[in-house]
Amino acid sequence: MIKVRVPATSANMGPGFDCMGIALEIFNTVEVQIIPQGLIIENHGRDTDLISADQNNLIYRTMETVFEQVGYCPTGLKITSYNEIPVARGLGSSAASVAAGLMLANALTGEKLGQDKIIELGTGIEGHPDNIVPALIGGMTLSYAQDTAEIGYIKVDFPEKLRMLMMVPDFMLPTAKARGVLPQQVELGNAVFNVSRAALMVAALTAGKLEHLKYAVQDKLHQPYREELIPGMKEIFTQAYDAGARGVFLSGAGSTLIAMVDSDNYSFLPKLRTFLEQRSLNWELRFVGVSRQGAARIA
C-alpha cells in the first residue's frame, strides 16, 4: 500500500490571477493498493457525496495519465481517500486530487517521473499552475509557463507571524460558473493595476512590510465580477479589516474568503463570528497555518 497526504491550496491571493497560490494546513490523505482485478474507490470524510467512486474519479483519471506516460498497466486498483478539503469552495480540492493521483501513480511505477514532469502533467490537467504547484511543493508560490511550455515557479517566503482565517460559506461555487462571469478582455488600466498589486504582494511579504498587504490584495481582474456570486462579500471584507486583518481576498474562484491575520490578534475570530451570526450567515470559520510542505508520501 502507498499513502500520500496533500494540502489544500488558495489560488490568486487577490491580484495573482492563475499564477499565485499558497498551500494550507488542511489535508486529504489518499492510499492505493494493487488488487487482482477491477477498480474499487472508497471516499471518506467531507463532501463524499460530491466525489465520484468510479472511473470518473479525478484521482484515478490522473493516475491513468501517469500510467500512459510510463507504459504501466496495473491488474487492478483500490483507492481510498480521507477528505478534509471542502469541495467547490475555492480551496483546491481538484488540485489535491490531481496531486495525489500523480504522486501515487509515480510511486507505483518506480518514481520514473521527476518533479518538473509531475508539475507539467498536473498543470495540463488543471489548466493553470496556481493551485497544483503549491499543492505539490508547499508554501506560497509564483508560477509561470516558459517558452518551452514547461512550468517555472518560485517559492516565496511567507511570514511566520501571519495566520490564515478561512471563511467557508454553506454554498458551493463551481469554478466553471465563477469563470463564466469574467470578461474576455480587460482594460489596460486594470491590467496595470493588477501588475502593481501582485508585485507589491511579493515585496510586502518578503520585506516584512505587512502594512501594505491591505493594498497588495486588491484586484480588478476577477474579484469585482465574482463578488455578485457571494452575498455579503463586500461587507465581510470591511468587517475583517475593521477587526484588524492585514489582507482579505477571495480564495481561488470562491466561495471561501481568506483573511491574513497577525497570530496574536486573538479577538479577530470572535468578532467575525459575531458579525456573521448577526446576519444569519452560516459560514465555517477556521484558522489554519501555511503548509510549508506539499504533497508527500507518508507510507
Name the band, by pLDDT with cuts 50, 70 and 90, for residue 150.
confident
**What pLDDT is recorded for position 145?**
84
Identify the CATH number of the domain defined by range 162-288. Answer: 3.30.70.890
| Segment (H or E) for 134 | helix 132-137
- Domain 2-157+291-297 falls in which CATH fold? Ribosomal Protein S5; domain 2 (3.30.230)
Q: Is 289 helix (H, G, I), strand (E, B) or coil?
A: coil
Q: Residues 253, 254, 256, 257: is their CA dihedral positive or negative?
A: positive
Q: Report residue 231: phi and psi, to 5°.
A: -55, 130
**What pLDDT is recorded for position 147?**
65
**What pLDDT is recorded for position 35?**
97
Mean pLDDT to the nearest integer, 214-224: 97
Lowest-pLDDT range of 43-52, 139-148, 235-244: 139-148
Mean pLDDT score of the chain: 95
Burial zone of 246 (CB within 10 Å; 0-12 exposed, 13-18 middle, 19+ buried): buried
> How far apart are the C-alpha atoms of 21 and 281, rounded to whole Å?
27
Check pLDDT > 80 for residue 149: no
Name the band, by pLDDT with cuts 50, 70 and 90, for residue 204.
very high
Segment 226-258, tens digit of pLDDT = 999 998 999 999 999 999 999 999 999 989 999
**What pLDDT is recorded for position 299?**
81
Name the band, by pLDDT with cuts 50, 70 and 90, for residue 148.
low
> How far apart are the C-alpha atoms of 279 and 29, rounded to whole Å?
35
Same fold across 2-157+291-297 and 162-288: no
Collect all residues with Cβ–Cβ distance below 8 Å to 199 and sequence separation of at least 6. Answer: none
Domain boundaries in the chain?
2-157+291-297, 162-288
Helix (H) and strand (E) counts in the chain: 10, 11
**What pLDDT is recorded for position 13?**
97
Collect all residues with Cβ–Cβ distance below 8 Å to 286 and sequence separation of at least 6. Answer: 165, 166, 168
Collect all residues with Cβ–Cβ distance below 8 Å to 119 and sequence separation of at least 6. Answer: 129, 132, 133, 136, 137, 151, 153
Segment 168-196, tens digit of pLDDT = 999 888 888 988 999 999 999 999 999 99
Segment 22-32, tens digit of pLDDT = 999 999 999 99
Segment 83-132, tens digit of pLDDT = 999 999 999 999 999 999 999 999 999 999 999 999 999 999 999 999 99
Mean pLDDT to the nearest integer, 135-160: 90
**Higher-pLDDT residue of 133, 150:** 133
Answer left, alpha or beta for residue 149, where phi above 0 means left and psi between -120 and 50 means alpha: left
**Is the model's pTM score more than 0.75?**
yes
Task: Give, in order, the Cα–Cα distances in Å from 41 to each of 34, 72, 83, 90, 209.
Answer: 12, 20, 13, 24, 47
Parallel/antiparallel/unpaired status of strands 38-45 and 76-83: parallel
Name the band, by pLDDT with cuts 50, 70 and 90, for residue 146.
confident
Burial zone of 61 (CB within 10 Å; 0-12 exposed, 13-18 middle, 19+ buried): middle
Mean pLDDT to the nearest integer, 63-70: 96
Q: Do residues 33 and 81 touch, judged by C-beta distance below 8 A?
A: no
